[in-house]
Each structure stands twice: as C-alpha cells, then as structure tokens.
Structure 1
Amino acid sequence: MINFTLDQWYGWINAFLWPFARLLAMFSVAPVFGESTAPSIPKVGLAAVIAMVVAPTLPPFPALATSSYEGLLVLAQQVFIGMALGFVIRICFSAVQTAGDFVGLQMGLSLATLYDPSTHSNTEVLARLFNILAMLVFLVFNGHLLMLDVLIRSFTALPIGHASLNPAAWMGLAELGGKIFSSGLLLALPLIAALLTLNISLGILNRAAPQLSAFSVGFPIMLISGVLLLTVVLPHTPSYLNEFYQEMLGHMARIADTFAAPRGGAN
C-alpha cells in the first residue's frame, strides 16, 4: 500500500497552486488574456495547464503548509507579482487608447462614443479603433507569447517564496504610468500637428473672410481631413507599436528583477 505524508501533499499542492496564482493574476490584468469579453473558464484552464507544465522546471519551493499563514502570504505575494507584471503590458494599450482620445478630440469626435465591454464604460470611437489595432498588432508580433516567456522566466529571476519584495519595484511601476501620456501623445503627434495646423488655417480664413462661417464648414473639413490622415498614418503604426511592445517587455523583466533585488540595492 502506498502512503503519502501530509508534507508531500502540501508540496504537490504548492508546486501547482503558487505558479498558478501568478499566471492567473497576470491573465486577469494583461491585455488579450484579461479582456472581459474573454471567457473565464478557458482563461483559468490555460493558466492551470501552463502551471502544470512549468512547475517541474521551477526552483525548489519552501516547505510550507498551504493553509498556514506563511503559505497564504506566499500565495498573496504571487498574486501581486502577476498583477504587477500584467499591468506593465496593459500600459501599452492604455497609451494607444489615449492617443485615440487625443486624435478624436482634434477631429471633433470626442462626443462619438461606444460602449466598451472591456472597461464597462463609454469609449471614444477612435480610442476603440486604436485599441483593436493595438491588439491585432500585439498578436501578429507574438506579443502574447513573448509576454508568457517573460513571465515564465520571472520564476527564475524572482523564485517563489522570496523573502520580501523590494518596494522600489512598485515605484518603478508607478513611474511607468507616465508612459500612458508620453507615448500616447507621441503616437498621436503627427495627426495632432496636421489637424492643429488645419484648425489654425480655418481660424485665419474666418478672420480674412468673416462671411464664411468656419463653424459650419470647419467640422466636415476637420472630419474628412482626419479620416484621410488616418489612412496615411495607420499603415506605419505597427512598426512603432512593435518597438513599444519590446520596450515594455523589457520593463516587465526589469520589474521582476527589481522585486528580487535586496532593499536598497535596486537602481
């Protein structure tokens, strides 16, 4: 008769549960996987399958009871790590949506909104369009696979059961939030500059010919010009987005390294 000790059961449960918690936490936040339109059951199943495949290759786990205070603390630690790493990639999509908001405001489409099921709120039409484009580019360049690769390598850089997380990583994560505005403005800058120049031209025309109402003519001109500019700019957007994704994947790996760095030793 084969007998198993309680410590062995705890070891097998922890070997699956802790990696599963980090994976599922990232899936709940990261783009593509974390969309509210994505079914929950396949999301949980995918995280479980990856956890079972990855678990035998990971460094040794601490011998802790799953339901003990220390075991629950490790579990919560994995959830925080997964959410932090997923949030880094989420910044990319927030920046793209911000660019869509900037362009829509210049085109006069700020009042044209659609219900976005991913955020459960009304989103501008161009922001929704830019978000779909960013998601397609992310999948085309295998961003979802690269994101999983960085997460799996984080188990080596930041092993499960690490004594404590360096708080400098949270500060670095907060500083990355500035990318939402800077990168979004940089992405929308060509369209903003062209539409602003056109808007100034219409203002000068209105001063030169007061009988020509710029309010009645300006909106269709801005809208048509914006659509034409989008047809010129959008085909060149994927190359910029690919570089942006690569940069944020690098930040994702650095955040994991910073979490594992001793206090006071992170840059």
Structure 2
Amino acid sequence: MIDMDLLVVFFLVFIRITAFMMTAPFFEYRNIPNLLKIGFSLLLAGIVFPVIKTSGFSVPGGVLGYILAVMAEAGVGLMLGLIASFIFHGIRMAGQLIDLQIGFAMAMVFDPLSEMQTTIIARFLNLLALIFFLNVNGHYYLIESLVKSYDLVPLTAMAIKSGVVLTVVKFFSGMFALAFQISAPIIAVLVIIDLSLGFVSRTVPQLNVFMLGFPVKIVVGILTLSVVVPVLGTLLQDVFKTMHNNMLILLRGLT
C-alpha cells in the first residue's frame, strides 16, 4: 500500500529537482525533450529521497500550506539553476562583445541549443565552454550542489531575506564582469587597430580605410582569439568553481 505521507514529501523533492533542470546549464537546453527532463528528475528524486532527512516532516496549513510549499521548492530549484546559468550567459555575452568589435554582429546564426539568434563567436565560445564544462564533470558538480541543497535548505524551510536579493544582484553583475574579462584582450587589440587605421587615414587620405578596416579587424580578431582560447581553459576552470561556490552561498542565504 502506498504511504501518502511519503508520497507528499517525495513530490516536494521532485518539484525542486524538476525546477532546477529547467534553468540549470546543459540541462536547460530546449532541444532536450521535456519528457526526458522529467524522467531524469524523477529518477534523481528516487535516488536522493532515501538520503535526505524526512523524519517528522509535516506541512503546516493543510492544502494551502502544501501549495505554498510546492511553490517554495520550485523557487529554490529555479534560483539555483539561474545562478549557475549566469556563467554561461556571461560567456555568451563576451562572444557578442567580440563580434560587435570584429564586425560579425550582423552575421546572426540560429543556435539550436538555446533556440535563439546569436552571433558566430558567441556560439563558438558557448559551445567551447559547454564542452569544457562536461570535460571537467561540471554537470556532476551541479547535481552535487542540488543534493546538498536539501541539507542547507530543508524542505519547506526556504526564507527569502534581504541579503539574498543583494547576493543575486552581485552574481548578476558578476556575469557582466566575466564577459568583460574574457573579451577584454581581444577588444583591446581591436581598439588599437582602430586607432592605427585612424592614423593611417590621416597620413594617407587617398586610402579607403573604411573598406580596409573590415578584413584587417577580422583577421586580427580571429588571430587574437586563437591566442586567447588556449588560456581560456584555466579561466573557465576557476569560473566553474566560482559557480559551485555561488550556489552554496545562495543556499546558505535561503535559511
């Protein structure tokens, strides 16, 4: 016979995991069928449920209290996934800044992973970061943080404090800082190229600098990117560790 009390608790565990899967990096991609996400969430909930503390658990407030508890668990999962996805949004933004300087901003392509229009280098950096993320077992760290969330924020124990809002804003601003940190070397080189072309146009007015600038900036930008990419692995490794720490910081602020 099915124990309804355990089923009620299991559903709360399942809700947090499912909400996390909808916003977390790699798991959020829209070309992954929702049925597969739900099935994986159900499997993971079945694995996690026996190891979390559920003894003496009760939902106060009857049906209305349980609805609020479901919304709270969905909120925890969504916030965790959103904090983790800030890293990849920052990497994609760095690519868009580079494309804007090189001149690729007008060459928009369709990204089947996110199902949205993106620029060429932005998609390249996003795929590179995703491959590196999987290579260093980043998806395992995501699941580990999700499992730890049940210890740091027990079921129905979420409490949004004023410090949490400031923490999320800090992580959001860190996304822009990461984008500038990745794109800064290439943008600096391209700015120097623009200044050099400006001096050339003053020295040799007969030269069509506008037409010359496009191929020069593309070649120099791609060459600089080829130099930066090998160093990017070290930066991304630190960034993914920061992502894991940010998730734990958020969880500690929700209790």
Could you say which TM-score interval applies, normalised by the shorter chain? Answer: over 0.9
Q: Which amino acid aligns with 2:22?
A: S
- Give the TM-score normalised by the residue count of structure 2: 0.94
Residue of structure 1 equivalent to 2:9: 15
2:76–2:158 Cα contact (<8 Å) kept: no
**2:148 pairs with 1:153:** yes
Q: Which amino acid aligns with 1:175?
A: K
**2:72 pairs with 1:77:** yes
Residue of structure 1 equivalent to 2:128: 133
**2:53 pairs with 1:59:** yes
Q: Give the match's secondary structure for 2:53.
A: coil
Residue of structure 1 equivalent to 2:101: 106
For 1:246, which of 241, 245, 253 is the aligned residue?
241
After TM superposition, the structure 1 = structure 2 runs for residues 34-49 of structure 1, keeping only pairs within 5 Å, are 34-49=28-43
Residue of structure 2 equivalent to 1:162: 157
Residue of structure 2 equivalent to 1:176: 171
Instruction: Return closer, same or farther for 1:206/1:73 CA change in 2, 3 Å cut-off.
Output: same
Q: Distance in 2 between matches of 1:176 and 1:94?
A: 12
Q: Give the match's secondary structure for 2:245.
A: helix
Per-residue CA deviation, residues 90-133 of structure 1 (Å, 9 max, x unaligned), is 10001001110111111111101012344443211111111111
Q: Which amino acid aligns with 1:176?
A: F
Instruction: Return closer, same or farther for 1:236/1:202 CA change in 2, 3 Å cut-off.
Output: same
Residue of structure 2 equivalent to 1:30: 24
CA apart distance, 1:30: 0.8
Q: Distance in 2 between matches of 1:253 and 1:236?
A: 27
In structure 1, stretches of 5+ residues that fail to align are: 261-267
2:59–2:65 Cα contact (<8 Å) kept: yes
2:59–2:69 Cα contact (<8 Å) kept: no
Percent pairwise identity = 26
CA apart distance, 1:138: 0.9
1:29–1:87 Cα contact (<8 Å) kept: yes
CA apart distance, 1:175: 2.3
Q: Which amino acid aligns with 1:231?
A: S
Alpha-carbon RMSD across the aligned residues, in angstroms, is 1.8
Per-residue CA deviation, residues 117-169 of structure 1 (Å, 9 max, x unaligned), is 44443211111111111111111111110011011011001100216333422
Q: Give the match's secondary structure for 2:109.
A: strand
Q: Distance in 1 between matches of 2:110 and 2:14?
A: 32
Q: Which amino acid aligns with 1:35?
A: Y
Deviates more, 1:60-69 or 1:178-187: 60-69
Q: Distance in 2 between matches of 1:14 and 1:250?
A: 31
Per-residue CA deviation, residues 200-248 of structure 1 (Å, 9 max, x unaligned), is 1111111111111111111001111111111111121111011011112
1:96–1:184 Cα contact (<8 Å) kept: yes
2:72–2:158 Cα contact (<8 Å) kept: no
Residue of structure 1 equivalent to 2:207: 212
Q: Which amino acid aligns with 1:240?
A: L
- Give the TM-score normalised by the residue count of structure 1: 0.90
1:66–1:72 Cα contact (<8 Å) kept: no
CA apart distance, 1:174: 2.3
Q: Distance in 2 between matches of 1:67 and 1:208?
A: 80
Q: Give the match's secondary structure for 2:254.
A: helix
In structure 2, stretches of 5+ residues that fail to align are: none
Equivalenced residue count is: 254
